[in-house]
Amino acid sequence: MKTKSFSNMQCSIARTLEHVGSWWSLLIIRDAMMGARRFKHFQESLGIAKNTLTSRLSDLVDGGILEKVAASDGSAYEEYVLTERGRELAPVIIALAQWGDKWVAHEKGPSTVITVKDTGDKLPRVWPRRESGEVMALNEVGMRRANGAPPKNWSEDKETDT
């Protein structure tokens, strides 16, 4: 649903979900990353209702994640392509895919493999790392409330600890 908006929240996660948090948005972005450009591509791939797709696509365009451009094949229709903003959602998409591969894999395995293009290897896990590139444990990641935000008085001082 979307009766309540997140856009007035200060939290960046909420503000991001305002753009991509609805039920189909991230799947549309996934398909766009895989090369879908036309209305029918999305519709056939997702099995989404056409009116819902219309609505989601225009929300993504309004949010600056997709843009409408003239068709690449010279026809009179328009196509939807990712903007830079949209392309930078790749880490989110990849992290979702990797979590799914690990925890809720389909019995027939994943339908798509994310790769390092030039080697063809499976992409290493998108994961918190230090500047050095060293992979971190999750309990080495902290979350600190910024000055502007009222502190939460939840229990003692839990953080991202495992």
Q: How far apart are CA 41 and CA 27, in angstroms?
A: 12
Does 58 sit near a second copy (CB under 8 A)?
Answer: no
Torsion of CA 149, 154, 160, 162, to 10 degrees: 180
Taking CB under 7 A as the criterion, the residue among 50, 87, 122, 125 binding DNA is: 50
Angle at the Cα of 108 (from 105 to 114), degrees rounded to 5?
Answer: 60
Q: How far apart are CA 80 and CA 32, in angstroms?
A: 8
Nearer Cβ to DNA, position 4 or 117?
4
Does 3 sit near DNA (CB under 7 A)?
Answer: yes
Does 151 sit near a second copy (CB under 8 A)?
Answer: no
Q: Contact letters (x/-) for DNA, 5-24, by CB under 7 A? A: -----------------xxx
Length of the chain measured in residues: 162
Q: How far apart are CA 8 and CA 119, in angstroms?
A: 44
Does 129 sit near DNA (CB under 7 A)?
Answer: no
Minimum gap (Å) between residue 76 Cβ and a second copy = 16
Q: Please choose which of a second copy, DNA, none residue 14 contacts, taking the beta carbon within 5 to 8 angstroms, the exact cut-off set by kind.
A: a second copy
Nearer Cβ to DNA, position 45 or 94?
45
Amino acid at 59: D
Does 74 sit near a second copy (CB under 8 A)?
Answer: no
Nearer Cβ to DNA, position 132 or 153?
153
Those residues whose C-beta lies under 8 Å from the C-beta of residue 162, and which sit 6 or more positions away, are 137, 138, 139
The structure tokens listed for 67 are 């843009």
Residues within the interface to DNA (CB under 7 A): 1-4, 22-24, 38-40, 47-52, 54-57, 75-79
